[in-house]
Structure 1
Amino acid sequence: MKKYEIPYNFDLELLNFLDEKIDKNWIEFLFLSPFKEDSRNARSHVENVKREWGTYRVPETRKEYEKNIYEIQKRGYRPAVLFQEEKPISKEKLKYYFKLGIKDFVVNCDELAMNIKDRNSNYNVVASITKIISAEDLWKNDYSMYDKIVLYFPFNRAIDRIKELPSKYKYVIIANSYCAYNCVEAKRHWSSNTGQALKVNCIKENNKDKLIYIPPEYTYLFEPYVENFKLQGREYPTYVLADEIYYYYNKLHNHEAGVIYNRLSELNKNEYFNAAKNLKFVIHDGGFNPENPFNNHSVFKWSA
């Protein structure tokens, strides 16, 4: 059984749902943002912003933040804190999270990962998707300070390339994202504020054939090659997030993902999940250009 990294939205009702409907052994950890004064994260631009399905509210005080951490721990789950800035937080700020008993971290910065491991080598440190690590990076660079690495968007549609990645690392893949594998705005989006986020050129609406969503009943295809799956959506209200978790826990057809099922079937699954396999980003061939990560080989043409 592959475990899942689950988003936490600072709503204790989500914990009630997990207690009632989900086996704890299926959950790797619950990941959540740090206290808002300590570090920005990839969802900072939607914090306390009214959206179509509700408002993602984060704790206003450390007392409230700590209450959520303690409640997660009391229920028998592990809280994992996200540090997604490219520079490390100070060691003094980091001590705050150690004192809360947190032993799982998802980080962007190698130096921060090493600082955490210096504290305790048994602490679990995961490389955030916000690092945008390519196949070439994985072969050339040292990521030994991480226990696992979250793979970037194109790998969701390049399953054969996951098989070719260095076996010395363990990998995590996000299953339920509707981003496009040829997105070039992710880094800008993740680091934006509320106003800037409105100006990001999101291409997914016009690239339905390039979405990276892996339906629950197709996760088995990836199971031999990844250590964990990750679900995104910590900005979602509990009724939405609970449905997402329930679908994956039970490997049920998700009727909300019709745009995917219109293009995917058991007959074309191998072709579908390899649509991005010729992107240089997912290939180890010495030709990866970090300034143009989605530059494709001449044999591959974008389809409309």
Structure 2
Amino acid sequence: MNFTRVATGVFASLLAIAAPNYLPAQYMRSIQQRSDASDLVCVGHAASPGRTGRVQQIDGSDRDELATQVIIERCLKGRLSANAEVRVLGFDIVALKNISGGYGYSGPPTGFVSEGRNLLFLKPTKDSDQYEVTVPIYATAIHLADPAPDLPSGEGSQTVQAIVVRELEGAFIQFGSRDLSYIDYLMGYLGAQEGIAECLRLSSRVSVPLQRDLAVAMLFEGQSSLEPVVISVLLDASAPLWKRQNAAGALGEHGTRAALVPLQEIASDHGPPDGQESLQSWAAEALHKVKARLVQP
């Protein structure tokens, strides 16, 4: 997937310092990848991040150093006591001293630590109360819901997996209307079969719009019983355009004969509303995939 961001820069006077180059940054999509590469995985509450005034060269480009103070709630890997306060460092995609007007970016999602609760993946530094994010440029920390979730009770039930799943579900409930990455994290963390089972359980306690988002994600993983729900998303003119496109994509991957007429309806719309030409293209591509699948022996 290609991620694009355009940001507006401002002039700033920063001090460039000499320091060893970091290893080339590599985006880690899954929670397990991030955990395996980290010495410390924890849930913590971060203050608003800021620039430190230091500049580091990473992958041949200058990057502004970022920092935030984090109060640890719990550790899932490594040893750090609850309520400990640590400083966390990371880097922006650019150095503002090099920006004049604005800049364009195309690549994996970038990001540091969000203000509020985060699932953090960290490495130690020479200072005992200071840590670095595992990947210096690309998004590594996962923004979590404001309230801590209710965790399973009973001896042995509060496993790392159970805690991570509850945290992701809480974040999906709070942010899912505009950010569906939490479903991807959940599916990737649990695997398709267990992820579908968990999403079905989650669906029973979320709003109807979020139920439909879960249905689209589960159809992408092959849960064909949810095809009617996904078709309803595709045809819902009040739904966000990008969610209707997701529905078309899921139908293209796993839709049956039942999806042909709805996809044809969207794909053949000769006068789509302004801005919906892309939906028409998504539907046409999905229609082609479904037809090709149906004629296979």
TM-score, normalised to structure 2, is 0.25
Greater Rg over alpha carbons, structure: 2
Higher strand share: 2
Higher relative contact order (CA 8 A, sep 6+): 1
TM-score (norm 1): 0.25
